[in-house]
Amino acid sequence: MWVADRNQESAEAVVEEIIAAGGTAVGVGVDATDVDALKALFGRIDAEHGVLHAVHYQVGIPAAAGLEVGEADWQLAMDVNMKSAFYSATLGFDLLEKARGKGSVTLTSTAAAIIGSGRSPLYSMTKGALLPLARSLAVIGGKRGIRVNVVAPGMVETPMLSSFFPGAEGKDTSELMKGFRDTVPLGRGAQAREIGDVIAFLNSDDASYVTGVTIPVDGGATIV
């Protein structure tokens, strides 16, 4: 397993957890908006293994809020939320094809790509682009034995959650979070493990006939 993160130390921390659980992994520092860096990563995997069975894409930023968005912020959201998804998925296709019918790509979008974000239309637009991207890649990939799917999480209880509340980073967001929880039929945010379990399913043989779909993992937020 290869763990890529913009921060090398973060990648290595995940590798340590994998090794502690009995697995093996390599951690690398990669900026997912840097196409040359992505090409180099897939080149290393090709040179050392010659095949790739699954690519999981987990990249994104909340994006600037409101309707008055500067061009620099607009371009940043495009690069991080869209450009990185396209190249992270497609640059590995040749290696995934070598898995002989067992290649899989999972892309992480958001429930806000389905129901829309009242805070940031830019966020909904850029993460929403992953849904038709996956459908198109599923059509192309099907002929090469590659499945492509999307997970669309709702509110997930992680340190990054506070970044979705402007000016709330590092502050107590319990009341703001409660407002979100009240809109979720299951009445709570997700744990990261609950998102990971769906990703693991989509990349497993249990999902061998599932491709081109988006699965909301949101406690029912998209149905109300």
- What are the catalytic residues? 123
Residue 74 structure tokens? 């607009």
- Contact between 3 and 15 under an 8 Å Cβ cutoff? The reply is yes
CB atoms within 10 A of CB 97: 17
Percent helix, strand and coil across the chain, each rounded to 5?
50, 15, 40
Residue 96 structure tokens? 């995934």
- Contact between 85 and 105 under an 8 Å Cβ cutoff? The reply is no
Q: Which residues contact 17 (CB under 8 A, 6 or more apart)?
A: none
